[in-house]
Amino acid sequence: MNKKLVIFGPWCGEFCYELSWWIPEVRKVRNTDFKDWDAIAVGFDGRKVLYEDFTQAYIPYPKEIDDTLMYPATYGEHVGQKDIIPDNLKDFVVNIANHYQSEGYSEIKVWWPGTMPISAERTLAEEIFGELKHYTARDEIISSIKEEIKFDNDRETVAVMARIRHRKGNVCKLDWNPKHWEIFVDMLVNDLKVNVVMIGIPRKEGSSAGGALSMEGTDIYDKNKDYIKPIVFTGEDSVERQIALLQSTKCSIYGASGTAVFPFFVKDAATFTQQTKEEGFRLKFKWERALTDDLKNVKVFDKYHNFDIFESPPEELFEEFVDFYNNIK
């Protein structure tokens, strides 16, 4: 027997870096340097759909390890001024390698995150090293999502990710006032007259990782509950269900975050995002234009500077969105 195995991971950095740089990198490496090898990937639960076109298996680390990961950075945990892969994750991968070695693999290699540094020079380049692709959800997942977001009216439906962070107890430079998100969603429902699916992301206590508002428990939700549905994605199919949501709604709206690139990876998904002056250009690189047919049906509203965005007016954002919405092709 001469079976060989390459293990990609463990990924524990931010989602946008995983989606935009890590996965294209390891897909290309798999299809060139390791094309005759078996391949598996290791990372957060729920993300197997992103790897399954070039791997035989996806192994998520268990909750007891996930619970220890508090400060995601480019490709690892942010400790001091460095990205590191924690020892418990390294041990997890070593145990996986030992298991596969006992299954008869003659050679096993680990392609660790950071093998190719994810540097500022790399993340600010017009082109990327790697292979990009659009993702689609399985028919059964799409059917399930459509049932979950079904409204008892004939309005169009939009998805909203109201991103918030409060890193280490402080307001993040990219955050928008949660009260302004409420006003904005109220205007979507009552002025534009659309249904709204709020993509809720629970915040991990003590973590620098972000979350997203669901609107549940607010006066806006109580007032408009026939037109607002919260949805929280968890479990092994969580990312595929998000893809299905983007395939099943008129368009999406993302708060200032690198995660706003996610709809670019769903073919023809219309998306609007609020960004800051310092960050908006990062969604307009050549490789992103290639994914979106030169930003067709994409609008990046980046009028305000870091921190100034917090109190920017919801009425203005609504007007910008309506203009975008009315011109979706």
Distance CA 126, CA 124 (A): 7
Sorted by sequence, the CB contacts under 8 Å of residue 236 that are 6+ apart come out as 45, 46, 48, 60
- Cα 31 to Cα 6, 17, 24, 28, 35: the distances in Å are 12, 20, 11, 5, 5
The three-point CA angle 292-293-299 to 5° equals 55
Map out the domains of the chain as residue ranges. Answer: 4-123, 139-325
User: What's the angle, vertex CA 314, arms to CA 312 and CA 315, rounded to 5?
Assistant: 115
What does the alpha-carbon distance between residue 233 and residue 259 come to, in Å, rounded to a whole number? 15
Query: Does residue 70 have a pLDDT over 90?
Result: no
CA separation (Å) from 297 to 60, 64, 254, 286? 34, 41, 14, 16
**pLDDT tens string 222-243:** 999 999 999 999 899 999 999 9
Answer for the pair 300, 273: CB distance below 8 angstroms, yes or no.
yes
Other CB atoms within a 10 A radius of the CB of residue 203 amount to: 14
**Over residues 68-97, mean pLDDT:** 92
DSSP secondary structure letter of residue 10 = -
How far apart are alpha carbons 46 and 235 in whole angstroms?
5
65 or 208, higher pLDDT: 65
Question: Which one-letter amino acid corresponds to residue 198?
Answer: M
- Model confidence at 1: pLDDT above 60: no
Neighbours of 149 (CB within 10 A): 18
For residue 81, pLDDT over 90 is answered with: no
Global confidence as pTM: 0.95
Residue whose structure tokens are 């969105």? 321
The two structure tokens encoding residue 194: 């659309």
Q: Estimate to the nearest angstrom the gap between the alpha carbon of 263 and the chain centroid.
A: 9
CATH of domain 139-325: 3.40.50.2000
Residue range 239-286, pLDDT digits in tens? 999 999 999 999 999 999 889 999 999 999 999 999 999 999 999 999
Residue 167, pLDDT > 80, answer: no
pLDDT band, very low/low/confident/very high, at 78 (cuts 50, 70, 90) = confident
Residue 238, phi-psi category: left (phi > 0), alpha (psi -120 to 50), beta (remainder): alpha
pLDDT in tens, 112-128: 999 999 999 999 999 99
Please tell me the distance from the alpha carbon of residue 316 to that of residue 295, in angstroms, as a whole number.
Answer: 22
CA atoms of 73 and 208, how far apart (whole Å): 9
Strand order of the sheet with strand 107-111?
57-60, 38-43, 4-8, 107-111
